[in-house]
Amino acid sequence: MKITNKILAECFGTFVLVLGGCGTALFAGHSVNFIGVSIAFGLTVIAMAYGIGHVSGAHLNPAVSFGVFVNGRMSFKDMLCYWGAQIVGAIIAGAVLLAIWKAAGMGETGVFAANGYGDAFKAAAGENYHAISAGGAFLVEALLTFVFLMVILGATDERSNTKAAGLAIGLTLTLIHLVSIPLTNTSVNPARSISQALFSDCATWSACGQLWLFIVAPLVGAALAGLFYKCVAPKED
């Protein structure tokens, strides 16, 4: 498959992920709560895994591409192309969500669906969130990304039942959101975090000021998973 096809697929797939997951949080979160938002993120990944997985692998996430690269399954050049496509797709989705937000007359965006941590984030996001420290947030994001990548690398291993990979990966992302939405609003995906931070508008808390953590922590977790999977499931000679 040509790299241009893969770039278009990753851009579209990440657009759908942010539109479906963050859109549910923004417009239906008050009625479906954290469980519904978690399911929405899982469903978007399942849909894209079977919709464009045969084109690009449906990474939809710079951390996933980084973990796959560290594991030796893609080139550095292709990873950079994926990163660009994913970030662009996520930002386009964020802009679309903002347009819908304004069209619905919902006023200031506030937190939007951005990620964060600490007392200021909790005050801005609401009482259902916890004021986790920066160190705690880093641990949560890195650890859960590590788990996510281990499932992805295992489910897509040619020695596995790859037909069920999309379902396994989507359900894992659902579980990850169930654990961490009240803590960090769940990133494990730098592109998703960037897209929402750019359009958030809160006088008491800055999503962009905390964005570094939701870029670095997922990449660290993904890299560790890429290396660890080599130890757990080394390729046979």
61-105: pLDDT as tens digits? 999 999 999 999 999 999 999 999 999 999 999 999 999 999 999
Average pLDDT, the chain: 96
162-172: pLDDT as tens digits? 889 999 999 99
How far apart, in whole angstroms, are the C-alpha atoms of residue 47 and residue 14? 12
Residue type, 217: A
Kindly report whether the global pTM for this prediction surpasses the value 0.85. yes
* Whether 133 contacts 165, CB under 8 Å: no
The reported pLDDT for the residue numbered 66 is 98
pLDDT band at 237 (very low <50, low <70, confident <90, very high): low
Token duo for residue 213: 């953590």
